[in-house]
């Protein structure tokens, strides 16, 4: 009888200890899971405007849920300017997402790049090419994988070329300024939008991603018209002297 009682006591003790061990392991799992979620960053719904993202249907363009670009309405003078059609393309998601006001790239649906990816990630050794190849990557069971094109990256930190939250006039004057555009001339900018592989990707982004509001050919024509006019911006009567060289004096007529 004593032996049976002792065996029962030992069994009860083992069960109790097993319960303690399981409780501890569950607690550790919860803590580790919380730490991992905090490290990864906010879930996409919280990065944007709090609305859940709906899965794209059919061949319809990817819906832009998050208002990434907030500026006052353009004036009549701005809307009628040569830069107006250029501006509409530059502030569309295909351009705006890589020209944010902060250090984090933007996303059509989430608002900001997931997993806290930023320029600091790049500076810490995480290359953009880790996920973004020179072509789009398809994921099994998903209509969209990581997008990709040659030299996928943000503009340099020294000249971030911010498009987000810039008014039409502000972006016009910024874009033509060599100190802010990487020492590019207007002709350099035109060549960039004509031929750069990453720019061209914007018109063939794959999946259901939205494309700019006009064709690439029409965009280049509008950009060229602005360049031919000397990069003039709304409110200016004549184009500024962007070369830094003294202008030739106007010829005088004899008396």
Query: Residue 195: what pLDDT?
Result: 97
Select from 120, 87, 125 the least CA-distant residue to 105. 120
Tracing tokens 């006591």 back to the chain, one arrives at 9
Helices marked H in the chain: 2-40, 44-47, 76-79, 84-90, 93-96, 119-123, 168-176, 178-181, 186-195, 197-201, 216-228
Measure the CA dihedral 231/236/237/242, to 10°.
-40
How far is residue 249 from each of residues 240, 242, 246, 252, measured CA to CA in Å?
Answer: 15, 17, 9, 9
- Under a CB-based contact definition with an 8 Å cutoff, are residues 83 and 228 in contact? no
Distance CA 200, CA 132 (A): 16
- Please give the mean pLDDT across all residues of the chain: 79
Can you tell me the distance from the alpha carbon of 118 to that of 153, in angstroms, rounded to the nearest whole number? 10
Spans of all domains in the chain: 2-40, 76-138+145-228
Cα(105)–Cα(191) distance, integer angstroms: 24
Residues 44-88: tens digit of each pLDDT: 333 333 333 333 444 444 433 335 788 999 999 999 999 999 999
Considering the entire predicted model, what is its pTM?
0.70
pLDDT tens-place string over residues 211-222: 999 999 999 999
DSSP sequence for 11-31: HHHHHHHHHHHHHHHHHHHHH
- CA–CA gap between residue 42 and residue 65 (Å, rounded): 17
Distance linking the first and last C-alpha atoms of the chain = 137
| Confidence category of residue 139, pLDDT binned at 50, 70, 90 | confident
**Residue 49: Cβ-neighbour burial (10 angstroms; 0-12, 13-18, 19+):** exposed
- The whole-angstrom separation of Cα 109 and Cα 63 is 7
Lowest mean pLDDT segment, chosen from 51-60, 155-164, 188-197, 216-225: 51-60
Q: Which residue has the higher pLDDT, 111 or 67?
A: 111
């Amino acid at each position: 009888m004593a032996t049976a009682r002792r065996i029962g006591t030992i069994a009860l003790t083992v069960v109790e200890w097993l319960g303690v061990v399981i409780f501890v392991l569950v607690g550790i799992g919860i803590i580790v899971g919380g730490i991992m979620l905090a490290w990864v960053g906010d879930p996409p719904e919280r990065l944007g405007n709090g609305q859940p993202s709906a899965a794209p249907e059919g061949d319809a363009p990817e819906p832009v849920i998050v208002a990434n670009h907030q500026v006052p309405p353009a004036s009549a003078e701005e809307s009628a300017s040569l830069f107006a059609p250029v501006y509409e393309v530059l502030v569309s998601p295909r351009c705006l997402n890589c020209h944010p006001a902060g250090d984090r790239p933007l996303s059509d649906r989430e608002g900001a790049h997931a997993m806290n990816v930023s320029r600091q990630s790049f500076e810490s050794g995480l290359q953009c090419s880790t996920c973004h190849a020179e072509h789009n990557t398809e994921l099994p069971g998903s209509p969209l994988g990581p997008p990709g094109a040659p030299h996928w990256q943000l503009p340099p930190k020294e000249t971030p070329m911010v498009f987000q939250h810039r008014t039409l006039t502000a972006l016009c004057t910024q874009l033509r300024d060599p100190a802010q555009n990487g020492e590019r001339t207007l002709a350099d900018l035109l060549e960039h939008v004509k031929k750069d592989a990453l720019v061209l990707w914007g018109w063939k982004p794959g999946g259901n991603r939205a494309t700019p509001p006009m064709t690439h050919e029409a965009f280049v024509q509008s950009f060229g018209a602005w360049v031919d006019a000397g990069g003039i911006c709304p409110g200016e009567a004549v184009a500024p002297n962007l070369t830094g060289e003294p202008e030739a004096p106007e010829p005088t007529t004899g008396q």
